[in-house]
Structure formats: structure tokens, C-alpha cells
Amino acid sequence: MGEKMVKRAYRYRFYPTVSQAQQLARTFGCVRYVFNRALAERSRAWTQEQRRVTYVDTAKALTTWKQDPETEWLGEVSNVPLQQTLRHLQTAYVNFWQKRAKHPTFKKKGKSLDSATYMTNAFSYRDGQIKLAKQDERLRIAWSRPLPEGAQPISVTVSRNSRGQHHISILVEEAISPLPPASVQVGIDAGITSLVTLSTGEKIANPRHERKDRAALALAQRRLARKQKGSANRAKARAKVAKIYGRIADRRRDHLHKLSTRIIRENQTVVIEDLSVRNMMRNHSLARAISDASWSELRRQLEYKADWYGREVIAIDRFYPSSKTCSACGAIAEKLSLNVREWSCRCGVRHDRDVNAARTILAAGLAVAACGDGVRPPRS
């Protein structure tokens, strides 16, 4: 197989000057305003007139808003991020209509991620430096890794998280070579005590990132609850809570990337379960542990990396009795409580619950891959 051209985003942290931070804050505010106003107009048109407002309609309305004396401040920032947020709104509606997502919601200051997308006509990239429209200075980017040689950015998205950190995501088109074919297949059983159990018998421990910072997080949240709303001390306390949450998310993301890359590199075919994490979160006893494990993110990473490197990910039906099915003879146990970690089949084989489930998942995935019965397609 030859090289495959893919669009890939490289994310870096950058440190804006005071003037750049102020200009970006105005841009984020304008983007949020345009998104919310366009969403309100589209919702009003549908509920009152049964009329669908298109992207073209909102783009024309944006021109009118910029000419209105009350909102002429929209002209103080680059027009490209404002147009792009209208495109993002259109995409959100398409996903809603095709039942891939819920109805778009309004962006709230302080609760939604501040971001703005610039296309090639709104930024310059020269000598490894990026300068955004409406700014005189180049961004001070911490280049933790270089962009691919000869790559030209297609777009850049700047963002500011709840910790006040600024990041830039640079989208480039890159040629990726498939990995050499492997003769190994693996089944994966997701869990809580072990993050994943492989059909080879290996268990990957769950780092429990949230538990490590649980005491510090609880203390920071109690201090936040005691602060007066609207005060400067409350803003500082909220920043401390956000810092702890951010640290947890960073560690979790890093661990999942390393794990998913290793699995894709070592195996030609990966078989997983099509878990309904949203429904499983309704179990309040396990919701925190399930959320911390982040199985959905692991599956997402496995699927797009498999697509990049010429591997295959198969998702079997979520209702398949993988834990109760004997991987040796195929018999199904009548009852198997969640607290039973080892069990014996009537054929005489004694199973580790998780290892047996992973082996059964692998067998089921390989068996039905040819006909497609019981296989769920990638969510992308």
C-alpha cells in the first residue's frame, strides 16, 4: 500500500503578548456572540415560521450586524473566525438532523471553550512563524515537535482554556505510510480495575488519574464554594479547580495516546465492544470510574489511527455475552454476577473473567467480520 494523505492537527501552547491576549479575547467574544445570535435566529425562524435558515442566510446577516451601530464592534476583529463559527453552526445542525448529535446549544462565557478558527487568508506562515490577521506580532509558540517537512498549514485554531492557557492547533495535509502488515489480532475487553484486558492475557492497569488528585480537587472545590459570587477571590479559586481538572485530563490523554498507538502498531486487527458509555454512566456507583477510564476516547483514537496506518478495528454488538461465553467450548453460562472474577465452565476450563471476555470478543469479531452480522461500523 502506498502513502495516504490525511489531514492532521498539531497542537502547541503559545504565549501571547498583552496586546495579543486582548485582541484574542475580543475575537473570542465576537465569535461567541455571532454563534449565539445565529443560533437564536435559526431557532426562532423554525419555531415561529417553520422556516430553515441556511449558512448563506446567516452569512448575509453577519454583514448586516457589522453595519449596525449597536454591533459595529464586530468589525474590530478578523471576519474569517466569524464566518467559520457560522460554518461550525451549520455542521452542528447537519449532525443534529442526521441524529449524530443533540441540538446545538448556546455558548456561555466562562463555561464554553474560547476558540477561533483562521483560514489561510487570515494568517501568514513564514520561516516557521505564524502571524494572525489584525495582529502586528508573530505568536510565540512553544514548538514541542516540528511540523512535517514541507507542510503548509490549511487552517489554525487558537483557543484559551479555563486555566487561561492559550493553544494553537495547526491543521496540515500529511502523507502517512501504512505500517508493515502484522499477523497478530487482538480482542480488547474494557474494564475499571484493569483499563483494558487483551486476549493475549495481558492486563493494562487503570492509572485512575482522577483518584490521584481527588483530595486536592475536593479541597479546591470546597474553597470555591465558600467564595462570594462575582468576587476576585472566587475567580482565583475557580482557576485552581480548573488547573487540577486540566492536569487530570492531560495525564489521561497522554496515557490513552501511548496505549492506542502501541495496540495499533502491534496488531493488524483489533476487536472491541460497542459499549454504550452514556447508558453505563447512569449507574451512579460506577459513573465516576467509567468517566475516568474514558473508553470512548480510547475507541476514537484506535479507529482513526487504524485508518491512518492500514489496520482494522471491528466493533461487535454491545449485547454479545462476551463474559458469560466460554472461549474454549462456546458454552454460555446462565448467570455470572459482576463480582465474580473467575469462573469454571462445564467443559472443565477455569477462566479469568476479563481474559476470557477478551478472547471471546476476538473470536466473535473475526467470525462475523466476513458477513458483517452483529458488527457496528466506526462512529466516524
Whether the Cβ atoms of residue 198 and residue 186 lie closer than 8 Å to each other: yes
Domain that residue 108 falls in: 4-176
In a domain, 317, yes or no: yes
Q: Which candidate, 279, 359, 349, places its Cα nearest to that of 327?
A: 359
Domain annotation covers residue 262: yes
189 and 95: one domain? no
Among 362, 380, 343, residue whose Cα is nearest residue 189: 362
Residue 229 lies in a domain: no
8 Å CB contact between 157 and 33: no
- The single residue of 114, 273, 292, 303 carrying the catalytic annotation is 273
**Domain end position, chosen among 156, 176, 196:** 176
Q: How many CB atoms lie within 10 A of CB 365?
A: 27
Cell readout for 38 is 445565529
Number of domains in the chain: 2
164 in the same domain as 41: yes
Do both 199 and 167 map to the same domain?
Answer: no
pLDDT reported for residue 380: 44
Whether residues 132 and 193 share a domain: the answer is no
Check if the beta carbon of residue 132 is closer than 8 Å to that of residue 123. yes
Mark whether 324 and 260 lie in a shared domain. yes
Per-residue pLDDT of the chain (380 residues; tens, 9 = 90+): 578 888 999 999 999 999 999 999 999 999 999 999 999 999 999 999 999 999 999 999 999 999 999 999 999 999 999 999 999 999 999 999 999 899 999 999 878 889 999 999 999 999 889 999 999 899 999 999 999 888 899 999 999 998 889 999 999 999 888 999 988 999 999 888 888 999 999 999 888 888 888 899 999 999 999 999 989 999 899 999 999 998 999 999 999 999 999 999 999 999 998 877 777 767 777 777 777 778 889 999 999 999 999 999 998 888 888 888 888 888 888 788 877 888 888 888 888 888 998 999 998 888 876 665 544 444 54
273 in catalytic set: yes
Tally helices (H) and strands (E) across the chain: 10, 15
Which residues are paired to 123 by β-bridges? 132
pLDDT at 141: 96
Identify whether 67 is part of a domain.
Answer: yes
Task: Give the integer Cα–Cα distance in Å for 57 and 67.
Answer: 16
Check if 3 is active-site.
no
Q: Within this chain, do residues 151 and 195 fall inside the same structural domain, yes or no?
A: no
The answer to whether residues 8 and 144 belong to one domain is: yes
Domain presence at residue 217: no
Q: Which of 154, 176, 198 is the last residue of a domain?
A: 176
Question: Which of these, 304, 318, 206, 199, lies nearest to 260 by C-alpha position?
Answer: 304
Statement to judge: residues 109 and 201 lie in one domain: no
Q: Which residue has the cell 482557576?
A: 239
241 within domain boundaries: no
Q: State yes or no: is 189 an active-site residue.
A: yes
Of 135, 156, 176, which residue is a domain's last? 176
| SS3 of the chain: helix, strand, coil, percent, to 5 | 45, 20, 35
Residue 338: give its domain's CATH number: 3.30.420
Catalytic residue among 114, 189, 210, 303, which?
189
Q: Are residues 160 and 294 in the same domain?
A: no
Examine the domain organization and report whether 193 and 325 are in the same domain.
yes
**Packed helices 232-266 and 295-309: angle between N→C axes, nearest 10 degrees:** 50
Q: Among 114, 292, 303, 354, which one carries the catalytic annotation? A: 354
Is residue 52, in this structure, part of any structural domain at all? Answer: yes
